Chains A and B, each alone.
Chain A
Amino acid sequence: MVRSQTWVSRTANGVLIGFLALTALLCLAPIWHTLAVSLSDKSAAAAGIVYAWPVKFTWSSYEKLLQDSKFFDAFYVSLKRVALGGIINFALTILMAYPLSKQARQLPGRNVVTWVLVFTMLFNAGLIPWYMTISKLGMLDSIWALVLPGAVPIFNVILLLNFFRGVPKELEESAFVDGAGPWRTLLQIYIPIGLPALATVTLFSIVGHWNSFFDGLILMNHPSNYPLQTYIQQLVVQLNTQSLMTAEEARKLMEISNKTLNAAKIFVSMIPILIVYPFLQRYFIHGIVLGSVKE
Chain B
Amino acid sequence: MIAMKNTRNTMHYYLMLLPGLCLITLFSIVPMIGVVIAFQRFIPAKGIGGSPWVGWDNFTYMLQLPDSKQIFINTLLIAVLKIIAGIIVPLAFALMLHEIRLAFFKRIVQTVVYLPHFLSWVILSGVIINLLTLDGVINAILSWFGAEPVMFLASNFWFRPLLIISDVWKEFGFSTIIYLAALTAINPVQYEAAVIDGASRTRLLYHVTLPGIRPTIVLLATLSLGNVLNAGFEQVFTLYNPLVYETADIIDTYVYRVGLVDRQYGLATAIGLLKSVIGLVLIVISYRLAAKFANYRIF
Contact = CB atoms under 8 A, between A and B. Distances in A.
B17 interface: yes
Interface stretch (B68-76, B79-87, B238-246): B238-246
A27 B169 contact: yes
Interface in B25-43: 26-35, 37
Contacts, number: 286
Interface in A102-119: 102, 106-108, 113-114, 116-118
Given A34-B127, A122-B280, A152-B20, A20 B97 contact: yes
Interface string A1-41: 11100000100110011011101110110110110010000
A148 interface: yes
B134 A151 contact: no
Nearest to A278: B111
Contact of A126 (B8, B27, B276, B283): B276
A92 B101 CA distance: 43
B122 A92 contact: no
A236 interface: yes
B21 to A, nearest CB: 7
A125 B250 CA distance: 18
Contacts of A273: 118-119
Contact of B20 (A37, A92, A207): A92
B135 A96 contact: no
B273 interface: yes
A92 B34 contact: no
Interface in A229-260: 229-230, 232-233, 235-236, 239-244, 247, 250, 259
A3 B101 CA distance: 13
Given A13-B100, A294-B297, A243 B133 contact: yes
Contact of B134 (A33, A98, A239, A243): A243
3 smallest CB-CB distances across A and B, nearest first, come from: A126-B272, A129-B34, A211-B120
25 contacts: A9-B201, A21-B109, A25-B112, A48-B140, A106-B10, A117-B24, A120-B24, A125-B34, A127-B268, A129-B32, A129-B33, A130-B31, A131-B260, A133-B27, A149-B27, A151-B20, A151-B27, A182-B13, A211-B122, A232-B123, A243-B134, A262-B126, A263-B130, A288-B178, A289-B181
Interface of A: 1-3, 9, 12-13, 16-17, 19-21, 23-25, 27-28, 30-31, 33-34, 37, 46-51, 92, 95-96, 98-100, 102, 106-108, 113-114, 116-118, 120, 122-134, 137, 148-152, 158, 161-162, 176, 181-183, 186, 207, 210-214, 218, 229-230, 232-233, 235-236, 239-244, 247, 250, 259, 262-263, 266, 269-270, 273, 277, 280-281, 284-285, 288-289, 294
Given A30-B127, A181-B9, 18 more contacts: A12-B201, A27-B112, A28-B115, A30-B169, A48-B135, A95-B20, A106-B9, A107-B14, A133-B30, A134-B27, A152-B20, A183-B12, A229-B122, A239-B133, A243-B154, A262-B130, A270-B119, A273-B119
